[in-house]
Amino acid sequence: MRRREFIKIISGSALAWPPAARAQQRSVRIGILLLGRAVPTEQLAITSELARLGYDEGRNMTYEIRGADGELDRLPMLTRELVAT
């Protein structure tokens, strides 16, 4: 009887492992640097495509959007800011 109990325990833990492994997935962070003004994520084409692939903002990914407002001189500073966050 002990052998059967052991096999049941091992089988049960093997079935429970994949969901537990998926629960430990890291959240993805995407930095978006725009030459113009920063816009809401709903207005960016990349967000709908990523959502189609299963990436949902707030659940398993976040967006960091920075806009240079047409000032090229601001791009290096905004890039550093994105990397730092």
Give pLDDT, residue 71: 92
Q: Which residue has the higher pLDDT, 81 or 24?
A: 81
Interior/surface letters 51-85, b for 16+ CB within 10 angstroms, e for the rest: eeeeeeeeeebebebbbbeeeeebeeebeeebeee
Give pLDDT, residue 73: 92
Which residue carries 């430990």 as its tokens? 24
Q: Are 82 and 31 in contact (CB under 8 A)?
A: yes
Task: State whether residue 7 is helix, strand or coil.
Answer: helix
**14 falls in which pLDDT band (50, 70, 90)?**
very low
- Percentage of the chain surpassing pLDDT 70? 71
Interval 40-80: pLDDT, tens: 888 888 888 888 888 888 888 888 989 999 999 999 999 99
